């Protein structure tokens, strides 16, 4: 098979491992800088060009689209879909998962466990918003934040009011969530491929920090997850429409709750923590599922 990987940097661990895994299984793998792909959009013969040539012979595309280029990246991916190339994760599913509020609403509709979440526009609603999620301490999140950036723990009602007012004053979109104290600063990253959790790790925040992201100094270790946690992760990924996803779960007093569904989960941390060859599992999934025009979106928005 001829496989394209959309990635800004061919030297990133996740990109390198996917190339290695694909070539080890006999595939021709090319890394394309997403922002250097450009498109000819017409009703007769839409195409993608890269470095002065037309791309027209790929069997599958693996998107590794960073949050900062979601708009352009999903446009490029949508063009591949229109050309009949099989996408590991579809453009609509990526856009859906990148919208934190929309993803929460979709999971709530499916009855998936979530922390109590509030969203408001007017400063007049702040006191009731805080009460709605159970009061302080609570977590305030920028909807556009990634890797723990733009996430604040407000330990008192006054602090919560001040932070929310400040964000609203800057016209930033935020959501407010209950603080799951019993999680103890730890979460579980479940790596879903298809309808299975192929690997799972526990991420523990460093001393004095509540965010467990590895980019924020958190540590990773192997963990055995429960059948309920496994089912929750798979259902969350399926609700987003993602074939490959990193589903972040907290262990709460009322069962597993999903914090986020990541459409371009990093491979390095989970392979190091578990010793599992996640990259090869992704390639095996592509082999089993890739065929022309095998996409639900067909380029629709």
| pLDDT tier at 301, thresholds 50, 70, 90 | very low
Return the closest-CA partner of residue 98 out of 160, 143, 56, 150: 143
Say what percent of the chain tops pLDDT 90.
69
| pLDDT tier at 206, thresholds 50, 70, 90 | confident
Q: Strand pairing partners for 251? A: 256
Give pLDDT tens digits for 229-268.
999 999 999 999 999 999 999 999 989 999 999 999 999 9
Q: What is the topology classification, in CATH, of domain 117-179?
A: Dna Ligase; domain 1 (3.30.1490)
Return the pLDDT at 300.
40
Residue boundaries of the structural domains of the chain: 2-94, 117-179, 182-284
Instruction: Establish whether domains 117-179 and 182-284 are of one fold.
Output: no
The CATH class that applies to domain 2-94 reads alpha beta
Rg (Cα) of the chain, in Å, rounded?
20
| pLDDT tier at 158, thresholds 50, 70, 90 | very high
Three-state DSSP class for residue 169: helix
Give me the mean pLDDT over the 28-49 stretch. Answer: 92
Contact (CB, 8 A) for 59 and 69: no
Report the greatest alpha carbon distance in the chain.
Answer: 60
182-284: CATH homologous superfamily? ATP-grasp fold, B domain (3.30.470.20)
């Amino acid at each position: 098979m001829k496989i394209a990987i959309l990635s800004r940097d061919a030297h990133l661990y996740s990109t390198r491992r996917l190339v290695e895994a694909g070539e080890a299984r006999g595939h021709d793998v090319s890394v394309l800088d997403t922002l250097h792909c450009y498109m000819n959009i017409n009703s007769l013969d839409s195409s993608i060009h890269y470095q002065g040539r037309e791309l027209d012979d790929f069997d599958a595309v693996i998107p590794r689209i960073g949050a900062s280029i979601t708009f352009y990246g999903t446009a490029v991916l949508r063009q591949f879909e229109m050309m009949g190339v099989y996408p590991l994760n579809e453009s609509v599913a990526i856009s859906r998962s990148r919208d934190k509020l929309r993803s929460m609403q979709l999971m709530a509709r499916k009855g998936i466990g979530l922390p109590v979440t509030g969203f408001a526009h007017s400063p007049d609603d702040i006191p009731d918003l805080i009460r709605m999620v159970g009061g302080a301490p609570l977590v305030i999140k920028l909807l556009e934040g990634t890797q723990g950036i733009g996430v604040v723990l407000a330990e008192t009602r006054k602090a919560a009011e001040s932070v929310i007012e400040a964000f609203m004053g800057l016209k930033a979109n935020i959501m407010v969530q209950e603080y799951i104290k019993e999680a103890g600063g730890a979460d579980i990253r479940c790596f879903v491929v298809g309808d299975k959790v192929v690997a799972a790790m526990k991420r523990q925040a460093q001393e004095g920090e509540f965010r467990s992201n590895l980019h924020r100094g958190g540590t990773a270790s192997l963990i055995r997850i429960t059948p309920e946690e496994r089912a929750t992760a798979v259902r969350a990924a399926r609700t987003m429409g993602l074939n490959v996803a990193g589903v972040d779960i907290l262990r709460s007093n009322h069962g597993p709750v999903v914090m986020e569904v990541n459409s371009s989960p990093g491979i390095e941390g989970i392979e190091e923590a578990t010793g599992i060859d996640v990259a090869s599992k992704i390639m095996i999934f592509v082999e089993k599922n890739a065929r022309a025009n095998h996409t639900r979106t067909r380029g629709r928005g």
